[in-house]
Structures are given as C-alpha cells and as structure tokens.
Chains A and B, each alone.
Chain A
Amino acid sequence: MSVLARPTAFESDRKPLPSASPKVTLKPAGDCGLLVEVAARIAPDVQARVLQLDEQLGRVGIPGVIETIFGYASLLVIFDPARTDYDALTNTVRQLSDEPVTPRRPVRRWRIPVAYGGEFGVDLPTVAAAHGLSADAVVTAHAGASYTLAMFGFLPGFAYLSGLPGTLATPRRTSPRMKVPAGSIAIGGEQTAIGSIEGPSGWHVIGRTPLRTFDPQRYPSTVFATGDEIMFEAVDPEAFHTLAARAAAGELVAERIS
C-alpha cells in the first residue's frame, strides 16, 4: 500500500529558488563561535542559503574552523580562536553570502516506510481529533507531503524536517513522555521529525519507521544529511515488523529515489 505522491511533488521541483538572496547577520557566540543568521524566518530560500554557505565553507576550508551546526535559518561556525583569523572568517562568510543561491548538486531523495497509528503512533487519534479529521486523513496528509531535512539536534541523529502541511500543526503535549521508541515520527507545533534513538519527547507520536536512522557503529552514522528530501510511505504493521527485522540485520530499509 502506498499513499505516496510521485517524486515530482518534491518542494524543490515546485518552487524555483528566488534570485534575490537574503543578507546575513554575523554575531559572535563567545570566543569560539560565529553565528551566521540568514533570516528570521523558516523558508525554503533561507534554508537553501544555509546549506550553500555550509557547503562553501567546507570547500574553502578556513584554518581552525572545527565544525558547523545547522539551524533552520542560521549556521553556527565553531572555531579554535588560537588558529582562526577571525576577520578572514567573517570576510569569507560575507563574500560567500553575497553570491547568489544556485540550485544545489542533485538533491538526495528518500522514501522511508512508516507504520502510522496503533502501537506505533499512540497520538494519532489526538492529532486527528485536534483537527477534526479522521486518522486516515492525517496519515494521507502527512505521507502525501514532501519534507526537507533542516537540521539535527535534541538527540544524536534526531532529524527536524521542514514542510509539515499547516493543517497538521499541533501544539506540543502538555506533559512530555519520558521515553518514546527509536524511529518515532512525531509532530510538535509546526514541525515534524524523525526520531533516532529512544528518548523523551513532548511531541505527538503518530508513527514509527523501522529504519535505523542513527547508528554510531556505522559510518556515516546517520542515513540522511541536512538538505535531503524525504517522503513517507505508510506501511501496515506486518510490513513494519518484516522491515524491522531486516533493519536489525543491517539492511537499509529506506528507498533512495534520486
């Protein structure tokens, strides 16, 4: 069973990137950090700038820069102040941000299996009730949309996605759960996410993927990278258990579309 739209429904196919690129704001974050704020909003063009900047910084390779952390609309550059020429760093970031945002190298697209509702998504009825929808309608809407991986955080490998249909936005639970299973698919406010390892959550869990999205014994340890596009495919419990067994045996049970 599949409720998937075809890959042509992906966000980057529908919307051409705007030619005007937003100006960035640079702010120090202590002595080892530079916060590059692209804009104060969550939008595809902002995200495209963040991704491009990260890619460019990696390519330029500024001495002393240790790592970068993605935000929805920002990039935090972490550096060693004893080895980094701060002015060179800020000048480089400014120059790179003046370049137009160009379409990226081919975007990776994934289709990942999700068992919605029941034991896999205990909050599906709550989300449905909150919007006056049937559970099936929520599943159809959630699995029918395409998402972009905006950033990782909260837990190792925990993937925040942008692209949740506005009709599914649901305020967080008033009391968080101490443990939700690895691979939980959840909605929190206007965001949706793919869980990585077992952990606490205040979001509404609507499903679960058998995919092992994070495994520190594997390299790379996450299946996805920031900027990847993701669609969900609803599967029944039987298929979930079959796929989970295959995933436990080391198989990648996500489908790479492009």
Chain B
Amino acid sequence: MIELEIISCGPATSLQDMGRPGWSRIGLPSAGAMDPRALRLANELVANDPGEAAIEMAFTGLAARVSGGPMHAAVAGARTRLRIAGRAHPENESFVVEAGETLEIAAMSDGVYAMLAVEGGFAIAPSMGSRSLDLRAAIGGWQGRPLRAGDVLPLRRHPAARQARAAPVPLDLDVPVRVVLGPQEDAFTERGLQTLIGRTFMASPRMSRMAYRLDGPAIERRPGVEMISEGTMPGSIQVPPDGQPLVLMADRQTVGGYPKIATVISTDLGRLAQRRPGQSIVFQMVSALEAREIACQSQLARNAVKPVGFGENGQPHIDAALLSGIGDAVVDAVDFETWEYVAAQASAHR
C-alpha cells in the first residue's frame, strides 16, 4: 500500500472535500474546503473527481514522506514553494514523489489556504457522507481531528495519470467581494449600509474556518433591533453590537442571533478566504438574481448536492456504512465568542 507519512504540518491542517450538506438542520456545518477552487484544481491536476478529499493547509505548509510506491500529487490555492527530494518543483503542476522521498511544501507566501490532492485520493472512510473534518463533532478528516506529525495516510490504488499543469487559482486580492444585501438589511441605518458597500475593510488575525472577523469602520445598526435566532449561510455577514462585521465561513454555526447585513455570494467566498490578516476587502453589491446567474456561470455550484433530508428525524438518507471514521478528538482550544482555533496557532507558525 502506498502511504503518506506526515513529518510536520501546521495546526490547521485537515482533510477536506466539498463538504457535508444535508446536516445543518441538526447543527452540523457543511464544512469542506475553504477555497473550493483550490480543491477542484488540485484534483483536476491528478485526474481525480473535483470533490475528492484533499489535505488543506492554512498559512503553513507541510513535510511528508511517501512509502510503498510512487505518489502522483498536486498543490493548488495559496502561493507556496515545493521541493521533492530536495529539488524545487513549480506550483500548479502535478508531480511524482517516489517511495522513500520527501515532499516539502513551504509556508504560504500569498493567500491562506492551499490543497494537496493525491491521485486516487486517500483510502479513508467518510463520516456522515463526507471526509471533511468537522472539528466540533470530531468526525470526518483523519480520525476526527486535524492532521499532525506521525500520521500515516493510506492512498487508494490507482492507474497512473499523466502529469498535468494549469494556471494557478486567481487570488484576486484587489477584486471586490460581491454580496447580496440582507436578509436583515432593515436592521441597519442608511449610513450603516453605505459603510459596508463604500468603505474598505481589512481581514483581521481573528480568522478561522468558522468565521472571518473584519477590521474597519463600525457598521451602524438601527437602535432597538431584536433578532430571533435563525439559520445562517456560509458567507453570511453578521454584525454584532460593536459594529465589526463577521463573515461566516465553512465551519460556521448553523444558527445565529445577530442581524446579517449581507451575504457573500458563493462564487466569491473562496476568494475572501484567501485574504491574509491586514489585506483589504471591498464589498460590491449585486442583486440576488445576478448572484444566482453568476453562480450558474461560475460552475462553482456544489457538486455534492442532496435533496432535503427526509429520512429518520428529517436527516438525510444515508448508508449506515458511511457513518464511520469517528475520532476521539475534542475541541479544547477555542475562543467562545468566535470559535477561533486556527488564527492564534497559525500565526505562530507563519
């Protein structure tokens, strides 16, 4: 069996695929790659299904050794440098690592998230229909937890595809992030809305797979607005009483009680995820209709869609064999307000 042994990696390194839709109604976020474009490209470079699970790295890279046979792999997303057995290799071009050789992925120089996909994928059982790590439920990923040094991941057998090359995932750091106003735009003053659309925000160090807190001008809310907790979307821009917006990301809490001034469109959420602390973010308003048209055109529409759950307790029908891969990890380092577990640790490794 071909295996990949992790020699070193950052604390926010995890297996992610296109996520776990269908379970939000019982409080599980969809999870999945923070930049789905990177997942898709890395997989395409090694002739995988675009949604095959891959290793997601945040800020940091990793070092890993291959055993049992050659590994055909690719890295896409944030900008980094690769070395295979000490030899430099260009990004966005797939590569072969022979048994006994070491792959080194340097810390990200631009962007936050990069994906390492291996041809054939990892031979790891999905959990509740997905291999994406859900840190809070301690399911998915590798044994329900982030990857760490010493982990040995089995690869599936596969026919060897040709090596491939592609243009990198655009980071578009100067391109505005498009949003649809609402659902609670009424909870904000005219000035508040103009602040969101007209002013420049900055990604803050308080970022995690759950949410990105933005620094910048406070967004003015109307006084006395009362909210009843309701469902949230990846991309929801919540504004707590202090006026500092919070963009919900892949591992979001599925319900929330803060008013949401706008929602980042699904096509642009991956681009937002790549902004590093201190980099600027400008929001541009589009209509809901435009946003849906953009989604249709961008081919980013989820490829792992499932119908509304109508099995027992309203949960998705699922093969019992998929309900495995449970780990023993518990969440033990989160900020109660924001659930940040990435930023504090990741910044130390940058």
> Residues of A with Cβ closer than 8 Å to B?
27-33, 35, 37, 40-42, 54, 57-59, 61, 64-76, 78, 80-83, 86, 151-158, 160, 176, 178-179, 196-200, 202, 214, 216-222, 224-226
Contacts and interface: CB of A to CB of B under 8 A. Distances in A.
Nearest to A39: B228
Contacts of A78: 21, 24, 231, 233
A35 B231 contact: yes
Interface of B: 21-28, 127-128, 134, 136-139, 179-180, 182-183, 226, 228-233, 235-236, 253-256, 260, 263-267, 288-289, 291-292, 294-296, 301-302, 305-316, 318, 320, 323-324, 326, 330-332, 334, 336
B128 A221 contact: yes
A68 B324 CA distance: 24
22 contacts: A28-B291, A30-B266, A41-B228, A54-B314, A58-B314, A59-B310, A64-B305, A65-B308, A67-B24, A73-B228, A78-B21, A78-B233, A83-B301, A152-B26, A157-B27, A176-B336, A198-B331, A214-B137, A216-B128, A220-B311, A220-B312, A220-B313
A61 B323 CA distance: 25
Given A33-B263, A178-B336, A58 B136 contact: no
A178 B341 CA distance: 13
A37 B186 CA distance: 14
Given A73-B230, A160-B229, A197-B137, A68 B25 contact: yes
Contacts of A225: 313-314
A61 B309 CA distance: 10
Contact of A70 (B25, B260, B265, B292): B25
A40 B183 contact: no
A82 B297 CA distance: 8
B230 A216 contact: no
Contact of B231 (A69, A197, A216): A69
B295 A31 contact: yes
B27 A158 contact: yes
Interface-centre pick from B231, B256, B264 (highest chain A CB count, 10 A): B231
Contact of B302 (A66, A73, A86, A219): A66
B312 A29 contact: no
B295 A82 contact: yes
A76 B231 contact: yes
B139 A151 contact: no
A135 B26 CA distance: 32
Q: Which of A30, A54, A152, A224 has the most CB of B within 10 A?
A: A30
A217 B27 contact: no
Contacts of B310: 58-59
Given A29-B236, A157-B27, A218 B323 contact: yes
Q: Is the interface of B mostly helix, strand, loop or mixed?
A: loop
Given A30-B288, A31-B265, A71-B231, 13 more contacts: A27-B183, A32-B266, A58-B308, A64-B305, A76-B231, A78-B233, A81-B301, A83-B305, A152-B254, A153-B253, A198-B331, A216-B128, A219-B320
Given A61-B308, A216-B139, A199 B331 contact: yes
Nearest to B25: A69
A28 B331 contact: no
Nearest to A31: B291
A219 to B, nearest CB: 6
Contacts of A76: 230-233
A179 B85 CA distance: 44
B21 A66 contact: yes
Contact of A198 (B263, B307, B316, B330): B330
Contacts of A220: 311-313, 315
Contacts of B292: 31, 81, 86
B326 A216 contact: yes
A64 B266 CA distance: 15
Contact of B28 (A82, A156, A202): A156
Contact of B229 (A65, A71, A80): A71
B291 A30 contact: yes
Given A76-B233, A154-B255, A199-B331, A30 B136 contact: no
- The 3 residue pairs across chains A and B that have the minimum distance between CB atoms: A69-B231, A76-B231, A71-B230
Given A29-B263, A153-B27, A216 B308 contact: no
Given A27-B183, A28-B180, A67-B306, A217 B324 contact: yes
A81 B308 contact: no
B266 to A, nearest CB: 5
A83 B326 CA distance: 32
Contacts of B318: 219
A151 B229 contact: yes
A35 B302 contact: no
Contact of B255 (A27, A69, A197): A69
B312 A219 contact: yes
Nearest to B22: A67
B183 A29 contact: yes
A27 B229 CA distance: 15
A74 B25 CA distance: 12
Contacts of B136: 155-156, 197, 199
